[in-house]
């Protein structure tokens, strides 16, 4: 017996990075886990792979129904699928605003409303959204991405209020910069990837990026019955970046 034995979970964006680390950890803790992703080619058993695009309502509903039928119900929904955007408010065209908000915000709306009928029937229902430090700190060159994650934070609180009396808890994690394929792709586009990585490390009070496994551990806690009294919260997993104000290393 482990903490999630007998529970059934869906992880969106579970084929890479934070989502894949979460799917593996939930499995290790005893849950049956389905990965919902637009590209499930990296997903291996015992994970149950379901290809779906969170931007397509019919695809999401069909995927969630298939998982619930396969598992005989659903207890945990991890809304993790997300995409990035770089630039100030002047830089991204309207189409890109629509696209990023569609994936990062409406994606959560679509999976949540498809899953709620099943979650209401669970004795341990939990939704965990992957938000970001971009929701709570002003980061340069992240206007669109931050707006999308600010919406995720507010949606998390609103959903927590709406569903608490139905026995469905809703929380989010706010990772700092995490060492995932996403960040590797970002660094690959920098003029000097090594210098860019050093700058990102230096921005963290801990001096290093957050790992996908560390974010997964926070998600697994919020999803577990151990967090039965935790709802409507945002758990920062950011190496202290949001809350700490350090003096430069030489003068500390």
Q: Which residues bind ligand NAD (CB under 6 A)?
A: 12-13, 15-19, 37-39, 53-55, 80-83, 103, 130, 132, 175, 177-178, 180-183
The answer to whether the CB of 175 falls within 8 A of the CB of 215 is: yes
| Min dist. Cβ of residue 21 to ligand NAD (A) | 8
Q: Give the closest residue to 115 by CA, choosing from 70, 60, 37.
A: 60
| Strand residue runs (E) in the chain | 8-12, 32-37, 48-51, 76-79, 125-130, 168-175, 178-179, 210-211, 234-237
Q: Return the number of the residue (176 or 224) whose C-beta is nearest ligand NAD.
A: 176
What whole-number distance in Å separates Cα of residue 41 and Cα of residue 32? 19
Q: Return the number of the residue (10 or 124) whose C-beta is nearest ligand NAD.
A: 10
The answer to whether the CB of 61 falls within 8 A of the CB of 106 is: no
Q: Return the number of the residue (124 or 170) whose C-beta is nearest ligand NAD.
A: 170
Q: Return the number of the residue (4 or 54) whose C-beta is nearest ligand NAD.
A: 54
Q: Return the number of the residue (37 or 75) whose C-beta is nearest ligand NAD.
A: 37
For 60, residues 6+ apart whose C-beta sits below 8 A from its C-beta are 36, 52, 53, 54, 110, 111, 114
| Min dist. Cβ of residue 161 to ligand NAD (A) | 22
For 150, residues 6+ apart whose C-beta sits below 8 A from its C-beta are 134, 135
Is 145 tagged catalytic? Answer: yes
Q: Give the closest residue to 237 by CA, choosing from 182, 193, 171.
A: 171
Q: Single out the catalytic residue among 145, 159, 212, 223.
A: 145
Which one-letter DSSP state was computed for residue 158?
H
| Min dist. Cβ of residue 249 to ligand NAD (A) | 23
What's the 3-state SS for 92-128? CCHHHHHHHHHHHHHHHHHHHHHHHHHHCCCCCEEEE
Which active-site residues does the annotation give? Answer: 145
């Amino acid at each position: 017996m482990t903490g999630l034995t007998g529970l059934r979970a869906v992880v969106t964006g579970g084929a890479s990075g934070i989502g894949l680390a979460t799917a593996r950890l939930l499995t290790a803790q005893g849950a049956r886990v389905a990965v919902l992703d637009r590209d499930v080619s990296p997903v291996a058993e015992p994970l149950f792979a379901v290809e779906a695009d969170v931007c397509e309502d019919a695809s999401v509903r069909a995927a969630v129904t298939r998982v619930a039928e396969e598992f005989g119900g659903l207890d945990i929904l991890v809304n993790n699928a997300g995409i990035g955007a770089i630039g100030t408010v002047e830089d991204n065209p309207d189409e890109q605003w629509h696209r990023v908000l569609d994936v990062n915000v409406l994606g959560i709306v679509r999976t949540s409303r498809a899953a709620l009928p099943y979650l209401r029937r669970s004795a341990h229902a939990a939704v965990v959204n992957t938000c970001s430090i971009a929701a709570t700190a002003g980061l340069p060159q992240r206007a669109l991405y931050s707006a999308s994650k600010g919406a995720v934070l507010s949606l998390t609180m609103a959903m927590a209020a709406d569903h608490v009396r139905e026995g469905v808890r809703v929380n989010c994690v706010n990772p700092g910069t995490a060492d995932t394929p996403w960040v590797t792709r970002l660094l690959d586009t920098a003029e000097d990837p090594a210098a860019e990585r050093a700058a990102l490390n230096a921005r963290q009070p801990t001096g290093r990026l957050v790992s996908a496994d560390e974010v997964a551990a926070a998600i697994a806690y919020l999803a577990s019955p151990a967090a039965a009294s935790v709802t409507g919260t945002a758990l920062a997993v950011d190496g202290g970046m949001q809350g700490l104000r350090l003096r430069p290393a030489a003068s500390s």
